[in-house]
Amino acid sequence: MKSTKNTRAVIVGIFVLLGVVIFVITILTLGGQHKTFDKSITVRAIFDDINGLQKGNNIWFSGVKIGTVKKISFYGNAQVEVDMNIEETAQEYIRKNAKARISSDGLIGNKIIVIYPGVSKSPPVENGDMLGVEKAPNPDEMMSTLQSNNKNLLEITNDFKVVSRGIAEGKGTAGRLLTDDKLIDDLQASMVLLKKASSNAQRISSSVADYAASLHKKGTLANDLVTDTTVFNRLKTTADQMQEVSATANSVVNNLNNATNGLNNSLNNRNTPVGMLLHDEDAAADIRVTLRNLQTGSQKLDDNLEALQHNFLLKGFFKKKAKKEEQEAKEKQVAPQADSLVNR
């Protein structure tokens, strides 16, 4: 019996000891999570709306948990004062002009307070300081905005339905492009022409590039025209000379025109000799008679000369003259033959 009681006492003692150990570990764990045993300072902030923030919620700074909400109480005219326990290790990084904002731990998680560090020139925060507040977006306002956006989205969807129905029915330019085969063929033909134009433009661009390259190739006419001042001056001189020749030709043409006009005036004027010859029949008849008389006189003169050749007084003169002419003719024939022999 005694051994049984001792065994029970030992078992009860073991269970009690285990319970105490578990209790202590639990306290230490919860204290570690809530920073219960760490040194901390208290700072305050006054919010218009804490959006469901509760005592014990976490406080974050630059993504690191640095404390918890210590106390929540009403302040002034329907405002809320929140006391926060912040670790001393984070005190030097938080400035007096830092601001606090209520946020959420995730999309639908617990509420938290996020502290922004402030300007580095400001001194660090101290115990009992009041932090500024940055207004957090109101969930009701967010829902209202979301509902408005949903309405706008619904209207846009309805408009898109109308547009898509019109396109499916072949209305408008887009609908015709999708349903009208002729328009599509015209568009394809236009694209072909555009490709040809693009190809021609490319060839022209290539030709221009080749010509530009030839301008830099030494020894070519194009390069000489661009770089050789002597060639350019010669071309300029030639152009000036051609301009002078053109001016002279214009002057000659003008003179010819004036002469032609004068001749036409003379031909049309009966008082001038030429006009009289062309228009006066009596003068033309007189001229014909004169020409006929001249022809008759010339024939008679030939007869008289022939008679003189047979006259015994002048017959010796004409014989001597004939012999002299024959001698000169023979000398002319001998001279070329002598020259050919000398050349041989």
Phi, psi for 112 (deg, rounded to 5) = -140, 165
Phi, psi for 42 (deg, rounded to 5) = -115, 125
**% of the chain residues with pLDDT over 70:** 65
Taking the C-alpha atoms of residue 78 and residue 49, their distance in angstroms, rounded to an integer, is 9
Pairing between β-strand 79-87 and β-strand 40-47 as defined by DSSP bridges: antiparallel
CA angle 192, 198, 200 (to 5 degrees): 105
The string of pLDDT tens digits covering residues 180-231 is: 677 677 778 888 888 888 888 888 888 777 777 766 677 666 666 666 667 6
Q: Which residues make Cβ contacts (< 8 Å) with residue 187, sequence separation at least 6?
A: 177
What's the pLDDT band for 136 if we cut at 50, 70, 90? Answer: low
Q: What is the mean pLDDT of residues 131-158?
A: 79
Taking the C-alpha atoms of residue 86 and residue 69, their distance in angstroms, rounded to an integer, is 9
What is the reported pLDDT for 19?
Answer: 80
* E strands, the chain, in order: 40-47, 58-61, 64-75, 79-87, 99-104, 111-116, 130-133
The string of pLDDT tens digits covering residues 250-305 is: 888 788 877 777 666 665 666 666 566 666 666 667 777 777 777 777 777 676 66
Ramachandran sector of residue 72 (left: φ over 0; alpha: ψ -120 to 50; beta: rest): beta
pTM to 2 decimals? 0.36
Other beta carbons within 10 angstroms of residue 100's beta carbon come to 24
